[in-house]
Amino acid sequence: MKIFPDRLSPQQDDFYNALMDAHEGLSETDSHALNARLILLMANQIGDLDVLRDLLTTARAYADV
Amino acid sequence: MAYDYTPYPYVPPKGLTQAEPRHPVAIVGAGPIGLAMAIDLAQRGVASVVLDDNNVVSVGSRAICWAKRTLEIFDRLGVGERMLEKGVTWKIGRQFHGDREVYSFDLLPEDGHKYPAFINLQQYYVEEYLIDRVRDFPGLIDLRFRNKVVDHADRGDHTLLTVETPDGRYSLEADWLIACDGAGSPTRNRMGLSFEGQTFQEQFLIADIEMKDSPFGDAAVPERWFWFDPPFHKGKSALLHMQPDNIYRIDLQLDVDADARAEAAEDKVIPRIKAIVGDKPFRLDWVSVYKFRCIKLDRFVHGRVIFVGDSAHVVSPFGARGGNGGIQDVDNLGWKLAAVIQGKADEALIATYHDERSHGSAENILHSSRATNFMTPKTPIEALFRTEALRLAHDQPFARRILNSGRLSMPCSLEGFALQTPGAAQVPPGSPLVDAPLSGAEGETWLLSQVQGDFTLVGFGDVPLPDVPGVRRLGINQRAADYPCFTATHGHAIRRYGSDIAYLFRPDGHVAAVFRRPTAQDVARAAGRAMGKTTETA
């Protein structure tokens, strides 16, 4: 499984803006909670455990520690 | 060398000693927008008086990035080639995060266009060239320096202006008043029109420096460099651009609560520049600290008063959509106003200037607001998303495209607006023209040179064009016809527009209608519709 290079453009700005709007007015704690819910919803939507494991590994690889 | 700001002469206007006949058009403001407006009207035979409170060109480089579409419009106004020759053509944009390059883009468009994606040219040169061009129309453009409009009154079918000069005041009547008097428009303020929108708290420092050695290091070609969180300016953003005459533009984000006056002082600016260019010698040319807003007027047309450029709409500078947007306003209004003044179209056509350009400016405001929001995160969560997008951008293509340091000015489509006849084609109705090289009996030329200025019906490939009054005809890759024909050099024009299809272009180059088999009746109806004539229902 390979991560898609780019499936967002040319609507990347619309998405990013909608994401920021979703956080509008939330406290930092509530924003983190929203992010957690969003990840769970997206995981269900993707629905493929191999893909999800790949994404988790990739995201983790960028961590500083 | 620093630009030589030679003052233009003040000539006492006739109105001081005797009443002037009513002018068809008075333009307030001799910046790039007002001057371009006067030239566009003059090329169509419409006289105007241009009133400016000052007598020198723009002090400081101000607007420097001129987009392809703007250059094409300047070409029609007779100044495009001079601007291209003097301007710096850049095509590579690099984005840095800290001291690492994360992404670069190449603006080099496909072959076969007269103008590049962008040039950088100081606003003072643009104004100087436009003033020189104005001099080609002595009978049609009356350009008056140090003539400050201090009042105006709506008289229904005309406007009465009060103008202040070094020799006193006089009054002047004009059928149409075009306010090109900038973001702080005194005309707009006098009318009490609401001009409120999103105000950004961030402040930015602009410094122009002249230096012999390029601050781009070994890069032999001019580029645009943008830094998120650069090592020399922690936690903020920075932008570097090259202009002609070895002038470089540096744009630095400042703290929200920075003291603008202190930040513009040399003792504060010079260390900031040295942090970027190192020990290379430089001369400080111009410094400005600014904030910005994103706003547009509810209506651009108020009876016989029309707002054009920054007086109608302002944007943040990221994406170069201010000056470029204003020149597109001029392009949209010029042919419409001339047609109304010359009795070829109904006054209702002017309302479509508002419809179409209000749409264009809304698009510019959307893009520039988003770029500004990305560059200046407001909350810890916004900052977190941006930091992680930057981190991913080092090797994830999708994340690179999320990085937003300004989506550079592109012309908007007018598809779906009343003047266009709906239709399907490679370049659909409403789109701005796509340039292409042509060769004809008199040598090499460009589609934009042949099409812009008048209603033009262009046949691509084997499609005979009917003769319709008020519509020029042009054949591309056609057998002999009784109108001018050209060959599509390297097939570019056919590839871009398709074959066996005719396009009707408006005078501003936007596609008004497309036809597979154009009949005189269909073309006349589409041209009439583009002139604002309501078609009788069958």
How far apart CA A46 and CA B169 sit, in angstroms, is 73
Q: Which residues contact B322 (CB under 8 A, 6 or more apart)?
A: B63, B310, B314, B315
Q: Do A16 and B382 touch (CB under 8 A)?
A: no
In chain A, which residues have their Cβ closer than 8 Å to the Cβ of B100? Answer: none
Q: Which chain A residue's Cα is nearest to B399?
A: A6
Q: Are B350 and B33 in contact (CB under 8 A)?
A: no
Using the 8-state DSSP alphabet, how is residue B56 labeled? S
Q: 3-state DSSP helix/strand/coil percent for chain B, to nearest 5? A: 30, 25, 45
For B14-88+118-196+295-349, the fitting CATH number among 3.50.50.60, 2.40.420.20, 3.40.50.2020, 3.30.365.10 is 3.50.50.60
Helices B322-341 & B32-43 angle (0-180, nearest 10) = 30
Closest CA to B463 of B423, B509, B523: B523
Q: Are B440 and B484 in contact (CB under 8 A)?
A: yes
Tell whether A4 lies on the interface with B, counting CB pairs under 8 A.
Answer: yes
Q: Which chain B residue's Cα is nearest to A64?
A: B391
How far apart CA B19 and CA B316 sit, in angstroms, is 43
In chain B, which residues have their Cβ closer than 8 Å to the Cβ of A5? Answer: 396-398
In chain B, which residues have their Cβ closer than 8 Å to the Cβ of A17? Answer: 370, 373
Q: Which residues contact B510 (CB under 8 A, 6 or more apart)?
A: B414, B420, B430, B431, B432, B433
Distance from CA of B375 to the nearest CA of A (A): 13
Tell whether A12 lies on the interface with B, counting CB pairs under 8 A.
Answer: yes
Closest CA to B116 of B155, B88, B135, B157: B88
Closest CA to B244 of B208, B288, B218: B208
How far apart CA A35 and CA B298 sit, in angstroms, is 38
Q: Do A20 and B398 touch (CB under 8 A)?
A: no
Q: Which chain A residue's Cα is nearest to B397?
A: A5
Residues 386-415 of B with CB under 8 A from A: 388-389, 391-392, 396-398, 401-402, 404, 407
Q: Do A28 and B407 touch (CB under 8 A)?
A: no
Tokens 């494991």 correspond to A53
Tell whether A63 lies on the interface with B, counting CB pairs under 8 A.
Answer: no
In chain B, which residues have their Cβ closer than 8 Å to the Cβ of A2? Answer: none
In whole angstroms, how far apart are CA B108 and each of B90, B119, B177? 9, 12, 40
Q: Are B352 and B419 in contact (CB under 8 A)?
A: yes
Q: Do B385 and A19 touch (CB under 8 A)?
A: yes
Distance from CA of B370 to the nearest CA of A (A): 7
Handedness of CA B277, B278, B281, B287 (dihedral sign): positive
Cis peptide before A10 (omega within 30 of 0): yes
Distance from CA of B402 to the nearest CA of A (A): 6
In chain B, which residues have their Cβ closer than 8 Å to the Cβ of A16? Answer: 370, 374, 385, 389, 402, 404
Quickly list H helices, B304-379.
322-341, 349-375
**Residue B257, Cβ density class (10 Å: 0-12 exposed, 13-18 middle, ≥19 buried):** exposed
3-class DSSP assignment, residue B27:
strand
Cα B449 from chain centroid? 18
Residue B181 tokens read as 């008097």
Tell whether A55 lies on the interface with B, counting CB pairs under 8 A.
Answer: no
| Best A62, A64, A65 residue to mutate vs chain B (most B CBs within 10 Å) | A62
Q: Which chain B residue's Cα is nearest to A10?
A: B401
Tokens 């709906």 correspond to B422
Tell whether B379 lies on the interface with A, counting CB pairs under 8 A.
Answer: yes
Q: Are B239 and B250 in contact (CB under 8 A)?
A: yes
Distance from CA of B327 to the nearest CA of A (A): 26
Q: Are B522 and B515 in contact (CB under 8 A)?
A: yes
The pLDDT value given to residue B220 = 63
How far apart CA B215 and CA B98 sit, in angstroms, is 17
CB pairs under 8 A between A and B: 47
In chain B, which residues have their Cβ closer than 8 Å to the Cβ of A11? Answer: none
Closest CA to B504 of B426, B429, B411: B429
Closest CA to B212 of B249, B246, B250: B246
The pLDDT value given to residue B198 = 85
Domain boundaries, chain A: 26-65
Distance from CA of A28 to the nearest CA of B (A): 7
In chain A, which residues have their Cβ closer than 8 Å to the Cβ of B401? Answer: 6, 8-9, 12
Handedness of CA B174, B531, B33, B138 (dihedral sign): negative
Closest CA to B270 of B257, B255, B287, B254: B287
| Best A4, A15, A16, A30 residue to mutate vs chain B (most B CBs within 10 Å) | A16
Element (H, E) at B42: helix B32-43
In whole angstroms, how far apart are CA B310 and each of B8, B251, B330, B391? 24, 21, 12, 37
Q: Which residues contact B321 (CB under 8 A, 6 or more apart)?
A: B315, B364, B367, B368, B409
Q: Which chain A residue's Cα is nearest to B400?
A: A6
Helix/strand/coil (H/E/C) assignment for every residue in B449-491: HHHCCCCEEEEECCCCCCCCCCCEEEEECCCCCCCCEEEEHHH
Q: Do B398 and A5 touch (CB under 8 A)?
A: yes
- Region class of B224: left (phi > 0), else alpha (psi between -120 and 50), else beta: beta
Chunked into runs of 10 residues, chain B (538 residues) has average pLDDT values of 92 96 98 98 98 94 94 98 96 89 81 94 97 98 98 96 98 98 97 91 92 77 90 93 94 91 93 92 94 93 97 90 95 98 96 97 93 91 94 92 88 95 97 96 95 97 95 93 95 97 98 97 97 68
Q: Do B370 and A23 touch (CB under 8 A)?
A: no
Tokens 């601007």 correspond to B83
Tell whether B382 lies on the interface with A, counting CB pairs under 8 A.
Answer: yes
- Region class of B62: left (phi > 0), else alpha (psi between -120 and 50), else beta: left
How far apart CA B66 and CA B77 sit, in angstroms, is 15
| Level-2 CATH architecture, domain B437-530 | 3-Layer(aba) Sandwich (3.40)
Closest CA to B219 of B90, B61, B68: B90
Tell whether B283 lies on the interface with A, counting CB pairs under 8 A.
Answer: no
Q: Do B401 and A9 touch (CB under 8 A)?
A: yes
Q: Which chain A residue's Cα is nearest to B367?
A: A13
Q: What is the DSSP string of B178-228?
A: EE---TT-HHHHHTT-----EE---EEEEEEEE-SS-TTTT--S-EEEEEE
Q: Do A8 and B398 touch (CB under 8 A)?
A: yes
Nearest CB neighbour to B370, from listed A3, A9, A13: A13
Q: B398-409 in b/e burial notation, b at 16+ Cβ within 10 A?
A: bbbbbbbbbbbb
In chain B, which residues have their Cβ closer than 8 Å to the Cβ of A31? Answer: 379, 381
Residue A36 tokens read as 């957690």
Domain boundaries, chain B: 14-88+118-196+295-349, 437-530
